[in-house]
Structure 1
Amino acid sequence: MKQIFSFFLVILFCLQGVYAGSKAPYTGSRIFWDTATKKQIFSSGGYPRMIELQDGRLMAVCENHGIDIAFSSNKGNTWTAPTKIVTNGNIPECAPDLIQLSDGTILVAYNPRPSAPYSADRLFGIHLKRSTDNGKTWSDDIAVFDGNYDFRDGCWEPAFLEMPGGEVHLYFADETPFTSNDDQRIAICRSSDKGVTWTTPKIVAYHSGSRDGMPSAVILDNDSIALCFENPGWPGVGDFIPTIAVCAVKDNWKRFVPYPSTNRWQAIDRDYVNPQVKGGAPYIRKLPWGETVLSHQTHYNGKYEMMVYVGDEKAQSFKAMSNPFKTSANEDYMWNSVSVIDTGVVVAVGNLVGGGVYMEKGYAVRMLQAPFAKTMIDGVQTRNEGYYGAMATQMILGLQNGMRFTGDFAYDEDSLYFTSRVSDTDQVSSGSNGDGVTLFIDTKNSSSDQIISEGTFRFQFMANGKMRVAKGNGTSSWQWNAMSADTLGVNYKRGGTDRYYIVEAAIPWERLGFSKETRPNGTHMRVNVMLQNRSTSDATLNYEMLPDAKRDESWSWMDFYLQPHDVSAVQDTKVSNKTNKVGIYDLQGRLIEQTNGNSFPLLRKRGAPVIVRQQHADGSTSIHKVMMK
């Protein structure tokens, strides 16, 4: 076997301080979207979906006067010209979804949607095509379900799921039974022969007097199915809202989930996320380490935008809201989706209405880390200076400002090192209150929500080469005390040009409250970063922070871990780093096998690439993508 890609994700419990006003910190992943990866997949089309195939290629599908597909052999940098596998006849073919089954068969489902004038010979339905040669050729049309012919009693938006035993599910929104009202349910058809034949529909979710619609589904690590769909019937919402219904894999929808039910809940944590953010068209996927990712469209800014959230391993408490695509006033992204590729790269697949289909990559990060290294503070970034990323790109920001910020950390016995590079589409504003990057550090991990605790620092590195420093006073709400940057001993160098600027800084541990005897080593802190941009065209000042972080509330900042560096710490880590559990997943995130210890029976067999997740005794997790020869 050959390991072609791996990364190490540290998952440790955050230490909570005992300070007044401390709050349980948010410890889930946050997605850093990289605008440099935005690529067009289709020049026109809608309802885009994407998967990673077993041969490593990406495959995308959309509706475009029929159904188009395209492939990428370089993880989305370039795409083949579209191939039309379904052509509109006397019925428009719409809203596709796709899946590659464990045996390699590719299925593409779509939704015939007749338009007025309606007639009984032109039916709404759910149809599909199959490919058994990696998408080179496709079968004839297979009718899974044919419904009614009137728009008021149609069926909509198919979505696939493969069960652990090989049974294939095809979910869809169904109004067919409700000819006297506007109700809608989520129905399921099943196939036991890789999509050749299908059962009649069965109800899986229904809210009487409301409209469950637009389903998608994943299998969770607790061996349950999470079905995500939109629903406008929640009291007090007044709009569509993403909803989750669950059932155990072993139960396999023996009973449908009604409303109300303990097996049905609003997906988004609206006490945490802006309660004005509502909307439908949800799509759910799972990260290799179990967390879930949800997208939906919303109109709360006066235009349709795509929002993405991270939920826990039970598809609950979706937080860390982010918007992958920066939009102008006259742009709308609708009927979007998310995909998870490689060992956890999240891909937003967006339909810019009237402007084609785009993708953009995001990187889910649960914890920021600093390796032990001594870096050169000279205002110049070079490869492998000792930061966590080879090119110092552990953090990525810039969506709201139309810029691109990357940042990273390292440390040694003397100092904490911080660097960032900010590329400006406008000219860098070097005024006293112009462009800059602010680093917040909660050195005591106090997770404050009411005061800026003592031991919390703010370093504002301005693009003009100046620096401002402040410290939390620990007594008054939201109070920072300014400090003298000259006496703090921070070594700050500004590099770059009038189009980009580089921050490199070394912050002495002694100035952060640590003595020689208490130098950090294997320590948890909390950090936040704020990007400040002054527009040279209209002089407006814009800010962007780490996803879902609040400026002065350290409980919302990201967990920050200093990797151990002394000999005893490394030895202790190795001794305790025994593998407790191994999960083996396919490229769609489906659990194939779970074992205890270091047993890898599946990896000795020939087959497709798999993702191996090792849960260690010390709480850390290793994730590897493995290719068999």
Structure 2
Amino acid sequence: MAALQLVVAQPTKQVDGRSERRGIRIEWDQSTLQRLAPRDGRQLRYAGYPRVKRLRDGTAVAVYEAQGNAELIWSTDAGKTWSSPVITFHGHAGKDSLGNQVKVNIANPEFIELYNGDWLMACNYRPTQPEVVPFAIAISRSGDRGKSWSQPQVIFEGGPRFTDGCWEPAFLQLPDGTLQVYFANEAPYTATDEQEISLLASSDNGYTWDAEPRTVSFRAGRRDGMPVPVVVDDEILVAIEDNKVGQFKPYIVRTSIADNWNEPVTAHSRFREYALQDSLPEHVYAGAPYLTRSPSGEILLSYQTTKGRGTDWEKSTMEVAIGDKYGRHFQKLTQPFPVPLDKEAKWNAISVWDDDTVVATSATNFDGGPIGAWMILGRIKRD
């Protein structure tokens, strides 16, 4: 299939009276479209929430949901071939003190390679019936590069019902080695529909964790959700979805590494910023953000949106915006996957593939089949 190149005009700056082009753009290469799961003839009704990370030695790791479990595959030849899937978290039966049982599904897998070389995964426990066992955030560790995994360790428990759950963990390791897990948290707000972004930290590579989470951000009466962090120089930036007015939109909340969320970022804080250069209409949905830093320093933001697609958020598609090196003024919007209006590309992520390339992942049925985990490479073009 021929490469699809999406080219956006560049901003300019004045240098000694001259106009100079600057910045980067992304061209999504349709010839690199690849289904990560299901593959090799496997029959899955659903595979989604995919994330791909490229490790220090060049290994590519992909994690995704697969019918109630979390799976991992890896590639040592730049994605040409992939390993067989390893189930890192199994769906299981939860039981309360009275002996009542419920099926617990696994959702929202995330992955990080620690500075010491260990691989860590996090996930969200989602019981299928209320009032039996709690929603929870759990982690698992591999010290042999994914061949075996430790027993899951629950690091946070929400309420035992959907309206008081916890969701969408995301890792960050700070320059001093401190490990953080960010997640959306409804547990403090049992009497309302509110939600905050919470944080747990570990000083020993994830073996022990804070006893209680701290609040990263909260907008009273609303639902901060789906956090993804990145370190930018001496700051921590976290992309969130914020439904301040109308549908969710991408926002950036930030703190210095030195302050490290000493105070929550509330509704009117100067550390909470609408992400996009050009505001979207209130009725347009743009949620489930993801954040990464390009090799040249620009911050890249992805999200799923109904822009130009109607009002059904289930038929969203993935969009990517390019910000400056401080994580502001996101513009130059592109859509990596060719998604018809009656299909979807959701629960997306974006990360660095190599010095000149990024990788976008999505749960999509753009090809007319069942929803699967897909990836595509985007070539970074510098002006």
TM-score, structure 1 normalization:
0.53
1:158 equivalent in structure 2: 169
1:119 equivalent in structure 2: 131
How many angstroms does 1:84 deviate by? Answer: 1.1
The 2-side partners of 1:128 and 1:16 are apart by 50
Partner amino acid for 2:195? Q
The 2-side partners of 1:18 and 1:166 are apart by 45
How many angstroms does 1:332 deviate by? Answer: 0.5
Residue 81 in 1 paired to residue 84 in 2? Answer: yes
Residue 174 in 1 paired to residue 174 in 2? Answer: no
The 2-side partners of 1:338 and 1:164 are apart by 22
2:355 equivalent in structure 1: 343
Match runs of 1:129-278 below 5 Å = 129-199=140-210, 200-221=212-233, 223-234=234-245, 238-270=246-278, 278=285
The 2-side partners of 1:171 and 1:290 are apart by 23
Query: Is residue 28–residue 310 contact of structure 1 (8 Å, CA) maintained in 2?
Result: no
Partner deviation per Cα, 1:279-325 (whole Å, 9 max, x = no partner): 10000000122110110001121331000011111111100100000
Residue 362 in 1 paired to residue 378 in 2? Answer: yes
2:37 equivalent in structure 1: 42
Partner deviation per Cα, 1:191-219 (whole Å, 9 max, x = no partner): 11111111121111011111000000000
Partner deviation per Cα, 1:248-277 (whole Å, 9 max, x = no partner): 011111111111111111111125x78875
Query: Is residue 37–residue 77 contact of structure 1 (8 Å, CA) maintained in 2?
Result: no
Partner amino acid for 2:140? K
Gaps of 5+ in 1: 1-11, 368-629
2:331 equivalent in structure 1: 319
Partner amino acid for 1:355? I
How many angstroms does 1:366 deviate by? Answer: 2.8
Q: What secondary structure is seen at the aligned counterpart in 1 of 2:79?
A: coil
**In 2 relative to 1, CA 312–18 (structure 1 residues): closer, same or farther, beyond 3 Å?**
closer
Q: What secondary structure is seen at the aligned counterpart in 1 of 2:287?
A: coil
Query: Is residue 183–residue 211 contact of structure 1 (8 Å, CA) maintained in 2?
Result: yes
Query: Is residue 105–residue 133 contact of structure 1 (8 Å, CA) maintained in 2?
Result: yes
How many angstroms does 1:329 deviate by? Answer: 3.3
Partner amino acid for 1:298? T
Query: Is residue 338–residue 348 contact of structure 1 (8 Å, CA) maintained in 2?
Result: yes
1:291 equivalent in structure 2: 298
Query: Is residue 29–residue 320 contact of structure 1 (8 Å, CA) maintained in 2?
Result: no
Partner amino acid for 1:160? F
The 1-side partners of 2:207 and 2:72 are apart by 21
Partner amino acid for 1:341? W
**In 2 relative to 1, CA 25–281 (structure 1 residues): closer, same or farther, beyond 3 Å?**
farther
The 2-side partners of 1:345 and 1:278 are apart by 28
Partner deviation per Cα, 1:494-522 (whole Å, 9 max, x = no partner): xxxxxxxxxxxxxxxxxxxxxxxxxxxxx
Of residues 30, 38, 62, the one that matches 1:60 is: 62
1:99 equivalent in structure 2: 112
1:30 equivalent in structure 2: 25
What's the Cα RMSD here?
2.2
Partner amino acid for 2:270? T
Q: What secondary structure is seen at the aligned counterpart in 2 of 1:152?
A: helix
**In 2 relative to 1, CA 275–154 (structure 1 residues): closer, same or farther, beyond 3 Å?**
closer
Partner amino acid for 2:361? V
Q: What secondary structure is seen at the aligned counterpart in 1 of 2:163?
A: helix
How many angstroms does 1:328 deviate by? Answer: 2.1
Identity of aligned residues (%): 36
Query: Is residue 247–residue 284 contact of structure 2 (8 Å, CA) maintained in 1?
Result: no
Query: Is residue 28–residue 311 contact of structure 1 (8 Å, CA) maintained in 2?
Result: no
Q: What secondary structure is seen at the aligned counterpart in 2 of 1:36?
A: strand
Query: Is residue 295–residue 336 contact of structure 1 (8 Å, CA) maintained in 2?
Result: yes
Partner deviation per Cα, 1:74-98 (whole Å, 9 max, x = no partner): 2222222221121111211111111
Of Structure 1 and Structure 2, the greater strand share is in 2
Moved over 6 A (4+): 16-19, 273-276
Partner deviation per Cα, 1:152-193 (whole Å, 9 max, x = no partner): 111100000000000000000000010110000000001111
Q: What secondary structure is seen at the aligned counterpart in 2 of 1:281?
A: strand
1:72 equivalent in structure 2: 75
Partner amino acid for 1:68? E
How many angstroms does 1:342 deviate by? Answer: 1.7
Q: What secondary structure is seen at the aligned counterpart in 2 of 1:257?
A: coil
Partner deviation per Cα, 1:497-552 (whole Å, 9 max, x = no partner): xxxxxxxxxxxxxxxxxxxxxxxxxxxxxxxxxxxxxxxxxxxxxxxxxxxxxxxx
How many angstroms does 1:105 deviate by? Answer: 1.0
How many angstroms does 1:18 deviate by? Answer: 7.4
The 2-side partners of 1:361 and 1:148 are apart by 39
The 1-side partners of 2:131 and 2:126 are apart by 12
The 2-side partners of 1:290 and 1:276 are apart by 32
Query: Is residue 339–residue 346 contact of structure 1 (8 Å, CA) maintained in 2?
Result: yes
Residue 333 in 1 paired to residue 345 in 2? Answer: yes
**In 2 relative to 1, CA 115–26 (structure 1 residues): closer, same or farther, beyond 3 Å?**
farther
Partner deviation per Cα, 1:21-72 (whole Å, 9 max, x = no partner): xxx8773311111001111111141111111122211001011121000111
The 2-side partners of 1:70 and 1:135 are apart by 9
Q: What secondary structure is seen at the aligned counterpart in 1 of 2:78?
A: coil
The 1-side partners of 2:30 and 2:157 are apart by 42
How many angstroms does 1:330 deviate by? Answer: 2.7
Between Structure 1 and Structure 2, how many residues are aligned? 346
The 1-side partners of 2:185 and 2:224 are apart by 9
